[in-house]
Amino acid sequence: MSIQDFFTLLIAGISQGCTYGLIALGFVLVYKATEIVNFSHGEFMMLGAFFALMFSAYVGFWTGIILAVCVLGLLGYLLDSVIMRRIGGENPALIFIITVAFGFIFRSAAGMIWGWEPLAFPGYFNGTSQFGPIIVQHSRLAIIVLSIILFILLFVFFSYNRLGIAMQAISQNQLAAYYMSIPVKQTTSLVWVLGAAIAAIAGIFNAPFTQVDTHIGFIGIKALAGAIIGGFGSIPGAIIGCLIIGILEPFSDLFLPAVKGISGYLAMFIILMIRPDGLIRQTFVKKV
């Protein structure tokens, strides 16, 4: 393998890992706030891409992206405030079935509205840059840079912003947060808004590489695997785990084509056999 091929695969893997990481953030944020694993979270990514494609045809590309992210944030808010809030504390099997059912509903709705055939997504940051023998697509760099910016903004938000600190308090102990006069229900809904909006961004910026169809939401399962590798409940762990899967995939597809598509899950099983709690264990234990 040449140096150029190595770095081409590496950059593609990092950009894909960043996409997984953005989706995994939503999984982790919602789980930390509600102890619910939303198995329809990948469909937020899919719907974000479809809405961006639709809006951009009428109001322009970047305005369409902003509108799509806002719509998905609203959808996340409605999903929590209208439905998930009412079943909180119910049997985990019931919650699992409901979130899976929403995934089917969202995919069916998207198919009925936009059709079942893949749609091409307009490119952004077209072109390439050359660094010595290495040629890098601008769209790949855009995903990486955007992800780094979002990760930094989220770190600052959760470390220094009052609302971010309130979200962290809820994730550790909802009852104590309530006694500290934190509006638990409203803040939890905002967590769903944030998770859905970030997933929409991931779907929009990944769409030029995958096209847009009703099945791209299944990428969320790989993002979930990355979150599990990193230690489910840990935001830094989710990012690291997703980068591991993202980087592993292109190389394993090239050298081990027999495991194409499942290399990330194999990595998850191997790491969990060695570290059952994932790479980064949570720093606190929830108490009932």
Q: Consecutive sets of 10 residues in the chain, 288 residues long: mean pLDDT of each?
A: 84 93 90 84 94 92 93 94 80 86 94 92 77 80 90 88 84 78 86 93 87 90 92 86 94 88 90 88 51
Instruction: Specify the residue for token string 């909006």.
Output: 197
Q: Give the residue numbers spanning the domain of 60.
A: 17-213
Residue 11 lies in a domain: no
pLDDT at position 21, please? 93
Q: 147-166 burial string, b = 16+ CB within 10 Å, else e? A: beebbeebeeebeeeeebeb
How far apart CA 34 and CA 174 sit, in angstroms, is 9
pLDDT at position 287, please? 40
Residue 285 lies in a domain: no
pLDDT at position 246, please? 94
The dihedrals phi and psi of 129, each to the nearest 5 degrees, come to -125, 150
pLDDT at position 283, please? 52
Of 29, 72, 73, 77, the C-alpha closest to 54 is: 72
Are 144 and 246 in contact by the 8 Å Cβ rule? The answer is no
Residue 147 lies in a domain: yes
Residue 126 lies in a domain: yes
Of 260, 259, 230, 256, the C-alpha closest to 242 is: 230
Residue 175 lies in a domain: yes
Residue 207 lies in a domain: yes
Number of domains the chain is built from: 1
pLDDT at position 282, please? 64
Residue 236 lies in a domain: no
Residue 281 lies in a domain: no
